[in-house]
Every structure is written in structure tokens, then in C-alpha cells.
Chain A
Amino acid sequence: MNSMIKIKDLEKYYRTEEVQTVALNKLTFDVKEGEFVAIMGPSGCGKSTLLNIIGLLDDPDGGSFIFNGIEVAGFNERKRADLRKHNIGFVFQSFNLIDELTVYENVELPLIYTGVKPADRKKRVEEVLEKMQIMHRRNHFPQQLSGGQQQRVAVARAVVNNPKLILADEPTGNLDSSNGNDVMQLLTELNDQGTTVIMVTHSEHDAKYSHRIIRMLDGHKVTEDILV
């Protein structure tokens, strides 16, 4: 399998007036296409920072980040946005749905930004809502849904564009175990269909769904457990 992500000596600092905190310290690792990687570590170890950089939401301060064979470290916001919207889907702990939009409209939004025609949008949104078993709630607003249902909508939104990569940041953190398992099942299915998944989690249970666990401490990789 080809490497989708090649990270080498990645650095990220957070500066305040007096203190400089190292969030990522010469981090190096690869993720292959179709892999399911879990990133674990205590709070403040830099895993969310890493996810933001992989998701092209943040810029590294040093090192190299090659995405699909292209060096993306140093891309401007516009280029990052373009790359992101065609290739990456996000799932967050707190779902991050837009409260003013219905389930359908939330899922439709990425397709609007990628310029998909309305007729195609309808087809694709409906397909993905069916797949996530949330079609019956299509006209509801996020506040009218349970946490599990909201996360299903968030996953639907993340996959509606058929991204090559899904980044999940504590996807089960706000869910009970039953709903959490459902979401993990969904991610596994997506991975089985070829989507690369990188997940940040505190949960050993969730991490077991992945192929490989990267454990981090103080901004660098300490161990790597290969599960499959």
C-alpha cells in the first residue's frame, strides 16, 4: 500500500509572552492508504495538534508533511481549504453540527462548498443518510436529536464527499457505550470500504478497532502497537 501521509520531524510550538510550549517535537510517522490508525496519549501530549495539522486546519512550525505525495506544510489557507474539502472528512467529539440547519442541510453543506449540482447533492445526501440510518430524521434540527444520532449525522457529513481520509477527534467522547460502539462500527465499515481513518482517542476500547496505535507523550511518539 502507498503512504497517504508522510510526516517527518514535525514541530509545533505554542508561544505566550513568557513561555514557549512544545506541542509536537520532531514527530515522524507514516499512514498508509486504507489504514485505521488510533493516536493515544495523555491530555496535552499533542495528539489534537497533530490531528489539526493532518486535517490542514493548522500549520506546522517545522518539519515535513506530505499528503498524497504533495508537500503541504506551508500551504496558504486557500490551498489548504481546497485540499481539505475534496479529501478530508472530520468527526468531532462535540459533533459540531450547525444548529440552524436541519440534518439534511448539515450533511449537504460540504457538497455545496465542493460545487456539486443540486440534483446530485440530493441523491448523495439521501444515500448517506440511509446508510447512517438517520433518514427518518432528515428534517430535524440537531437539538432535536440524541447524542448518538447527532454523531451519526456528523459522520454522514464527514463521508458525504467520499473523502480519502477521515479524521476523528474523540468521536465517542460524548456518547454512552452503546452509541459509542455504533459509531466505532460505522468508522470500521468506512475503513473496510477503503477510507483511511485517523482517530484520536483516550479509550483503549475504541483504539482496539484500529490497525495500529501510536502512543504519544510530550509531542513525540513513544510506542507504536500494531494490532492487525
Chain B
Amino acid sequence: MKNTKVLSLVVVLVFALSMMLTACGTSEVTPSATATPTATPTPTAATPTPAPVDTTVAKPERIDVTLTGYFGDSLDNTESKKNYMDWMTEQYGINFKIHYPARNNYTEVINLAVAAQDLDGLVGLFTPQENREWMANGLIYPLTDFLADNDTYNTIFPESWKETYTFDGELWGIARGDDGNPSMFTRSIRGDWLAALGLQRPTTVWELYEASYQFTYNDPDGNGIDDTYGMTSRTAWLMQDLFQAFDARLNHVGDAQPIWNPNTNTWEDSMIKPEMVECLELLQKMATENVMDKEAFVHSSSVARGKVQSGYYGGLFYWDSWTQSFESSVKQNFPDAWMDGIYALKGNITVNINQYGIGQGAPYAMTVTTPEPKETVNWYMDIFFGTAAGLFQGKYGIQGDFIGEGMFTLSGNKVYLNYFLKDGVVTGWGSPSIAGGHPDYAVGIVYEVIYNSPDVAWNEATTLRVNSGLQQRKAWFDEALAWGGIYILPESLKEPTSDKYLQISSDISAASQEAISKSMISEVSVADALAKYRQTAKTLGVKEVLDLANAEIGATTTQTY
């Protein structure tokens, strides 16, 4: 029949099409085949050695880790990442898989995946609040029972790390760990400009304003051109020290949300305090006078950094490790420049101004869809926290013996970061950064990092720069600690924990951000902006959040809307 002929023709066509499609589904190696670098010495399984593991729990078939805070973006060092996974799989006989959601979209990706029950193993979350939310939604396992007999957990894993992620008597997340350096921000400011203008290093927020004003108008670089600015920022986040000095505190991520005030031991809403009016009026004045970069609410923080690095902006409140790096960059254009660091500015208050933390890192939670939960979490714990070698293996990558074979070598308390020469330039590896720190090897800062490559001059310069930077940081930090300018913010007091807060938190944030940003560029008056915020906060029920949080610490809310 002719019909059959036709039919078969179309079937063949559809078949051919589906073949083509299947082909494009499976040929995912095609681009990577062309992409293998030939000059790179690939770490071989023979020389590098894995950290030993001592556990009585049976081996899981696989361990999945979803990294939401990979240092470097999801697309960097793909070869290193693949090698690392292969190597771990081979060494431990566990199918080791790390997933890298695209940068800036971590939350979307893991939310979707977990809602579709397509997220296995350990997932990096961001905050204890998120950890708690996932717990409340029944998405993750409690871990206490699984780890009850685990030696690493019982003897090595620090109590403070456990506390942070313990809710309702159960452990819900494994801390990533931090490298033990106090983690905090500092105000980087151009020391050479201060000196050129005959100014002292500012100690109060008003002195900072005076200095920055002169930075903008008094030609601190003496080139006769009006091309300098007082300071830059990125949203309220990178000017937290100003808000704090006024006692109109922002929370630990620089957001204007309910916060715990260490001086009064109460939870409060800074946005409706009279101090916030003072603070915003100063900011508005600074923006109007071009003392503060008006673009602060638009550009990214990399642009803000770039502006400081360009040598035309007086400073920025940023991670303290950057002060040194700012200095090096500014020196490119202005060889005589140097940076000063201010850990806290006095204002309406003179103690407990800026917070710092000895971090335990973000939590890894284990989803309820994980096939062998007990095995997975025990092996994870033992591999990455059991020994120093294991920790660095999770932090830096494959452990090798010498340059070019493996990403690091461990010798006593010294960690050698191995670089190699590629096309004549010193080249490094991508670090997996699964684990961040280890109680014995990090919290007490007993280990030293040495840059290690065939180019000796490069090693020395880099190691020197890093170490002198660390020493300078330490000196400034100790100074602020001595006069009480900085304090440790306990993990449990970083954010309110009530469900009500989780519900309205993003709305509070949006409303306060708007009030701050709009009043700063004089789009609305400070009074109007804050009045609008007060109205929104009242409708949202921020009072209820404060009441609940205060009740928990035995205090009472004094503010009314």
C-alpha cells in the first residue's frame, strides 16, 4: 500500500531526528575533547597521596556535594575540578561528585532542585536562618544520631561550630569551617592623602567626614586637577561603620533589619531610631557634596573596589584583607601612595561598634533524598575534618609531593601552595574550597602558608606581601580590640529566628534599602523616607518580630511604630 510507504518514510525521518537529538545529548564530551591543555602537568594518581580515614561506618557508594559558595565562579578551572573529583573517587572508592550552580543564581537553582527532590547529599546553604528554614520544611536530616559514634565529630569538631547549627536539640548542618583569621571589615583610607593634607587618622565619624570633604575639594594628590573623591561604597553594606557609629546599626550582612544591640542587650529596629535620622542626614550631605560616591547604590562592589584601586577615591569599608591589595593597586598609578586601616569609628557610641567573628563558615545540610545518609555524613566528616591533610585536601585540592604534582604539600605546620610554570608564567590551580578551616590547624592560626613555585623570586615576593599584610592587619585589629571598638556578635544573635521574621524579612529589607538609598541621593527627604518606612514596617508587623526576639533573651521592646 502507498500509505505504508508514506508512513515508513515519516517514521524514518522522525527516527533520524531523534537519533540526531540523542547524539547531541550524549556527545557532551565533544567540546572538552578539544580543550585538554597539553602544556599543563596533570596531577597523576601515583604521586599525590590522599588523607587517611579511620571510621567504622560502612563506605557509601557516593558522596554528592553542592557548592554554593565556590571561590571563583562555577566556570573557572573546569579541568582542575574534574581532576579533583576523579582523584577523590579513585582514592576513596566513593563516587565523589561536586555540583556547581552558576554564580549569583545559587539560591534559585538549589530551591528548584530541592523542591523537585533532585538534590542529593550535602548542600551548601548560606546562613543558620536558611538552615532552619530547610529544617522547618522537612527538607533535611537531623545529623546528631548519625554522628553519635563518630570520633572526629566527638573529639575534634569544635563545640561552637556544633552550637551554631543546632536547633531544637539536633544538629542540622555541618559548618564549613573558617581559616581562623578574625573575619571582619575595615575602613581602608588613603594614608598618603591624610599626610599630604596634614590630617590625623580619623577616629570619629565626623573626623572622617572632614577628611573626606578635604579629599574631594583640597586636591590631596596635589596634581592641580579636581579629580579626587572622598570615598565610595556599595549600598549601605560598604558603609556599615558609619551607621554603627551613629548607633543606627545594620545587621551582620549590612542590611537594615531588626538587630541585636550589644550595649543595651535588646533587639531593635534601627530605622525608626532618631540616630538613623542623624546618620542619613550626614550621608545625604556627603552625597550632595560629592564627598560620597553617589553611584554607591548602582555599581557592583567590584566597581567600587576598582575606583579605590584607580587611586581617585579616598577609601572604602570592606573586607580587611583588601587594604593591602588596594595599596598595591594604587601604587601602580601613584608609587608613593599607602593605605591606612580603621577598624571602628566612634560616634554616638564609643564601645562595641563594629562586629567581627571567628567564623565557623556556612552550613552544609544533608537532604532527605540522600540514599545512604549515615554513611555519607560520617565519611564526609572523617575525610575533611579527621586530619590536617584531609582539611587541606578539601580546601586546596589534591595533595602532592612537589611542584607541578598536586595543588599543595603539607610539611609540619607549613602548607606549601604549589604553583607551576605554564608558558613561562607562574600558574596556580583552582581550589575546591569544600572545607574552609580545621580546629587544630586553623582556629589557632598555627599553620603558615608558603607560596611555592619554580620561580623563586615570585615565591618570595608573594609570601612576603601576604605575610606583611597579615601582620599589619593584626596590629590594627589589636588596637581596635584594645579600646573596645569591636565585639564578637554571637551567632544566635545575628538575626531573629521567628517564622514571622522569615516571612517578612525580604520585605523589610526592600523597604529599608529604599528609604536609605532614596534619601541619600536626595530623591526624598530623610524625614519622608523614614516615615514611609515606618508605615510599611507597621503594616508588615516588624514590632511582632522584635517582641518575639526580645522575649527570647528576656528583654522588652521599647520602640513603637
Partners in one complex: no
